[in-house]
Amino acid sequence: MTDRNVEQALRTALEHAAPNDVESVLLRCDDRKGNVIPMTNQNPEKKNRKPLRLAALAAAACLVLAIGGGSIYYNQSQTAASIVSLDVNPSIELVLNRRERVLRATPLNEDAAAVLDGMDLKGATLDVAVNALMGSLLKNGYVDELANSILITVEDDDANRAAQLESQLTETVNAVMTSSSINGAILSQVVSQDQDLQAKADEYGISLGKAQLIQQLVDQNPTLTFESLAGRTVNDLNLLLSSQATTLTAVTSTGRASDGGYIGTEVAKNAALAHAGLTADQVTVSKVDFDMEDGRMVYEVEFWAGNVEYEYDVDATTGEIVKNRTERYTAAAGQDASIDEAAAKAAALNAVGLSEDQAEGILVIPSYDDGRFVYKVKFWTGSTEYFCAVDGAGQILKSEKEEHSSSGAAASSSTDVGLEAAKTAALKHAGLSADQVTGLTAKLDWDDGQRVYEVEFWQGSTEYEYEINADGTVRQYESEAHATPTAISANTGTTNSNSSSSTGTTSSTDIGEDGAKAAALQHAGLTEDKVQNLYIERDWDDGRMEYEVKFLSGSTQYEYEIDGATGSVRKGENKTIASAGSFISADQALANALSHAGLDQSAIRELEMDSDLDDSTPHYSIDFKSGNLEYEYEISATDGAILKFEKDN
């Protein structure tokens, strides 16, 4: 028997044991050139023997056969080096050799079989194969402006080659989608073999990469199930990923998933309002996001009317109300206070025992939480991240810290360019200067063991988001051009003493935060020195740039939506806030908890405080550790009494 005969016999045996899977079997075994195994006869009379396991066959294929004193090495051009999968809803797997030529293209479900119908990709280069597959996905309607997401997964023992393939594939897919006038949303990742996940992937007819993406979503959101997500398209998974602000390990995301295949946030919001018997000018909408409920995509809609909070799940396809609940709250503390951002920052730093020159990346965000005005204060010292929630009276509602340890993926450079240089790096990459953009912001964050700066800005109707490494290099970026309607006729809505709404024609100008603030104050008949807790945020809604402006004056809370181009008031609302009542401070609540525990504040660590002053029993939640014990308290906000206490090892 010749060497060629032996090689062919081995290939035939493998194909019969695991049809059409020899290449991926070879990839998933160790490279053990030069080893020799003896060929022994099997007992032909022994019945009911279990088939040889796939792993055993793979090991046999990877070893060198010694026959007649000669050694045969598996031809490298026929040896699998990488497995690449493309998932939309069709799941297609490509097995590549070291020269990036296709050894096999496998459809993992029925949709994929339709995409591959009539194609013979064996021997094709990766670039040619991916272009052909993308063309078929576009032709068959699996990728378009309504469903623009695709998942790219690479499995390879060589980390450098895997990373290179991931980048190469992302560029190729993006180029094809761009040439077809589609703003693509691409998720990409490198995975390692996982037997449990592979079993799930095989069960549901998806790739290992899609199985890993789903498992991470399920791990971070226990309300989701693997079974409910397995049949969803990658575009649906991407919508869930972005709506829930979930960050997945080792998954790179570019572009934004399209929701054009669903009813849209406005229709979902209006369906919820109609069910509640309310109109848009009677409520404050706090959330409209995608979610899953009973196996179907829904919009999760939340809004306030007075002191009542409404929560709805609206079917994203039909507009049907799937689930709803309401909850009534008592008046919250801190709403009529008047500290500014500087005082909130000072209160947060004091709470953790730091001075301003010891902290970096300080960010103060005016916000509303459960109808209460709150400053969210974030900052860093070294690799420790701090977060404090400070109410309008300067009380600490919540205090957290998180230690970030550097990982092997962190940049080797110890350079930290700082916020201003990070802004400059992002602008340079975008080919813009600071005077050409608006809304330029930057904040320090930590990702995969690396310090990164998140930079955001606008140029006209295009929104830019950057992640800049601490050494000033661009880690990730995304830009989105928001379409502007060419003509929008004026339409004035109902107006009363408490609310008004209007829309105007669009313009290419941007009035900026100062212009939006001036428009809101003028409409309210107030000057800036007469208001507190001023909050301004730029956004894009229904093809228009707009500014959300909020402030307090005495016991009245004002909320405005200002057209970003014309300065006209699109929506205005004001409501009287009830008196906060008499609550003890967060510091007093902490002192009561420490007194009960018999501890001094210097003896505790990992202090976390939160307030639930809207509860039927207003209280502070306080958690901390001391020694090897963990303490949990609920302290009455009215009289400081201990409502609940737990102590655990």
Q: Are 462 and 432 in contact (CB under 8 A)?
A: no
Q: Are 81 and 27 in contact (CB under 8 A)?
A: yes
Q: What's residue 451's pLDDT?
A: 78
Q: What's residue 369's pLDDT?
A: 64
Q: What's residue 613's pLDDT?
A: 63
More confident residue, 203 or 497: 203
Percentage of the chain exceeding pLDDT 90: 24
Q: What's residue 408's pLDDT?
A: 39
In this prediction, residue 245 has a pLDDT band, given cuts at 50, 70 and 90, of low
CA gap 176, 180 in Å, rounded:
6
Give CA angle at 438 (429, 260), nearest 5°: 80
Tokens, residue 414: 């110890």
Strands (DSSP E) found in 496-641: 499-503, 532-541, 544-553, 556-563, 569-576, 605-612, 619-626, 629-636
C-alpha closest to that of 184 among 196, 195, 193, 172: 172
In this prediction, residue 40 has a pLDDT band, given cuts at 50, 70 and 90, of very low
For residue 493, the number of C-alpha atoms closer than 13 Å in the C-beta half-sphere is: 17
Q: What's residue 267's pLDDT?
A: 92
pLDDT score of 255 more than 70: yes
Q: Are 397 and 387 in contact (CB under 8 A)?
A: no
Q: What's residue 318's pLDDT?
A: 93
pLDDT in tens, 174-224: 999 999 889 899 999 999 888 889 999 999 889 999 999 998 888 878 778
Q: What's residue 332's pLDDT?
A: 43
Averaged confidence pLDDT in the chain: 77
C-alpha closest to that of 214 among 172, 153, 264: 153
For residue 551, the number of C-alpha atoms closer than 13 Å in the C-beta half-sphere is: 22
Is the full-model pTM beyond 0.85? no
Calculate mean pLDDT across residues 444-470.
81
Which range among 166-170, 289-293, 624-628 has the greatest average pLDDT? Answer: 166-170
In this structure, the strands spanning 102-107 and 569-576 are unpaired
C-alpha closest to that of 595 among 550, 639, 640, 539: 640
In this prediction, residue 97 has a pLDDT band, given cuts at 50, 70 and 90, of very high
Give Cβ neighbours of residue 160 (< 8 Å, ≥ 6 apart): none
Which DSSP letter does residue 20 get?
Answer: T
In this structure, the strands spanning 149-155 and 82-87 are antiparallel
CA gap 558, 572 in Å, rounded:
7
In this prediction, residue 246 has a pLDDT band, given cuts at 50, 70 and 90, of low
Q: What's residue 19's pLDDT?
A: 41
Q: What's residue 87's pLDDT?
A: 94
SS3 497: coil
Q: Are 185 and 253 in contact (CB under 8 A)?
A: yes
Q: What's residue 236's pLDDT?
A: 92
Q: In what side-by-side order are the strands of the sheet with 384-391?
A: 360-369, 372-381, 384-391, 396-403
Q: What's residue 543's pLDDT?
A: 66
More confident residue, 158 or 412: 158
Q: Are 53 and 59 in contact (CB under 8 A)?
A: no
pLDDT in tens, 590-609: 899 999 888 888 888 878 88
CA gap 393, 378 in Å, rounded:
18
Which range among 73-87, 495-509, 558-572 has the greatest average pLDDT? Answer: 558-572
Tokens, residue 11: 């290939």
pLDDT in tens, 417-435: 888 889 999 999 888 888 8
Tokens, residue 99: 């020269």
CA gap 220, 246 in Å, rounded:
8
CA gap 454, 429 in Å, rounded:
14
Q: Are 614 and 559 in contact (CB under 8 A)?
A: no
Q: What's residue 73's pLDDT?
A: 43
pLDDT score of 288 more than 80: yes
Q: Are 184 and 174 in contact (CB under 8 A)?
A: yes
Task: Give me the amino acid identity at 570.
Answer: R
Q: What's residue 483's pLDDT?
A: 54
